[in-house]
Amino acid sequence: MKLVNILTILGGISTTYAMTVQELIKDMGVGWNLGNTLEACGDWINGSTVKQYETSWGNPETTEEMIKGIKSYGFKSIRVPVAWSNLIASDYTINPLLLARAKEIVNYIINNDMYAIMNIHWDNGWFENFATKEEESFTKYRRIWEQISDYFKDVNENLIFESLNEEGCWNTVWNRWSNQGDKSKAYGLLNEMNQNFVDIVRNSGGNNTERHLLLAGYCTDIDLTIDEAYVVPKDDRVMVSVHYYTPSTFTILEEDADWGKAQPTWGSESEVEYLLNDFKKIKTRFVDNGIPVVIGEYGTVTKNKDINSVHKFLKTVAETSLNSGMCPFLWDNGEHFNRKTLVFRDEAIGEIYKVML
Residues of the chain with pLDDT under 70: 1-17, 357
Provide the annotated active-site residues: 166, 297
Residue 47: the pLDDT is 84
pLDDT digits (tens, 9 = 90+) for 85-121: 999 999 999 999 999 999 999 999 999 999 999 999 9
- 355: closest CA among 326, 319, 328? 319
For 24, phi and psi rounded to 5 degrees? -60, -45
pLDDT digits (tens, 9 = 90+) for 180-223: 999 999 999 999 999 999 999 999 999 999 999 999 999 999 99
Q: Which range of residues forms the domain containing residue 23? A: 3-354
Residue 14: the pLDDT is 39
DSSP string, 196-255: HHHHHHHTT-GGGGT--EEEE-GGG-HHHHSSTT----S-TTEEEEEEE--SHHHHT-SS
Helix 134-151 × helix 183-202 angle, to 10°: 30
Residue 12: the pLDDT is 36
User: For the chain, what is the domain count?
Assistant: 1
User: What CATH number did the domain enclosing 243 receive?
Assistant: 3.20.20.80
Question: What is residue 137's three-state secondary structure?
Answer: helix
Residue 18: the pLDDT is 76
Output the pTM of the full model. 0.95
